[in-house]
Amino acid sequence: MPGNQIFSPFGSRLLPHVVTPQAVNLEGSFISKECAAMSKAIALRIALHPELIRLLDQAIITGKPALWANLAPYMPYTNHPDICTLPKTWDRTIDGYSLSMPEECVWTTLRDWYGWGIPCAETLDVLKNKLALTKILEFGQGTGYMARVLEAAGLNVITAECFNRGYDGIGVWRLPDYNDAREMIQKNPGAPILISWPDPEASAEIISMLAPGQKVIIGGRRAYCGLQDGYLLANGFTRLYPHTYPNSLASMSGGLSGLSLWKAPA
């Protein structure tokens, strides 16, 4: 790729600055309030800072994801304080309707273009250096961004996209190797599997796919994900020590989470 050109799903157009939508006036009908809040959320959604785009895209070219400290100032996050101007006593409803969608628009900015979990330098350090991995399966690859970065860093990554339930971000950066995660696991015996942000409604389905004794690396904010510790222990999983590498996976919502290590029952 010539020069310092960065490939981005956003194309060559980089915003010169972060869009700062005007404050939303919540007077008027429900529809006008909802549309105003949505308009602002959409503006925030497309306003990823050019430096964040550069850092994330550069990781694919160099195989060297940025340190969290360099990503953090530009990361969007949930419940953005600038989504709309609200009374201090606002109960998070408008005309009795829970207004969640604007927050969700901001929250899914990185998911739709990059992923639920964003690999940073700390992620690569755990996978390559601390765990000494050379091959890894990824369950639920989404856009393929995680796999592209890890491949650029020298890991052999084989992926499947969960259950193919219509997620609109599949394949932005890389198509999955398998349409069926169960087939991926069966054809790659012994390979550890990375599952970031597991669906809390699919815990039983996920563990039914795992091979006996398979090593599992789980990322994401554990209080909000599936495959929580108590569930794994109750289903015969074994903790691998050190059980958790804290602050090692960036979140699309703007925080750092850990990577937890488990072994499926034999």
Quick one: pLDDT at residue 172?
A: 82
Cβ atoms of 37 and 23 within 8 Å: the answer is: no
Q: Please write the tens of the pLDDT for every residue from 5-50.
A: 333 443 333 333 333 434 444 445 555 555 555 555 555 555 577 8
- Average the pLDDT over each of 164-168, 220-224, 260-264 and give the range with the smallest value: 164-168
The share of the chain scoring above pLDDT 90, in percent, equals 45
Task: Render the burial of 220-230: b for 16+ CB within 10 Å, e for the rest.
Answer: bbbeebbbbee
Quick one: pLDDT at residue 222?
A: 80
Identify which of 70, 165, 55 has the alpha carbon closest to the alpha carbon of residue 110. Answer: 55
Alpha-carbon span 125 to 120, nearest angstrom: 9
- pLDDT, the chain, mean: 77
Tell me: cis bond preceding 242? Omega within 30 of 0 counts.
yes
Give percent helix, percent strand, percent coil of the chain, each to the nearest 5.
35, 20, 50
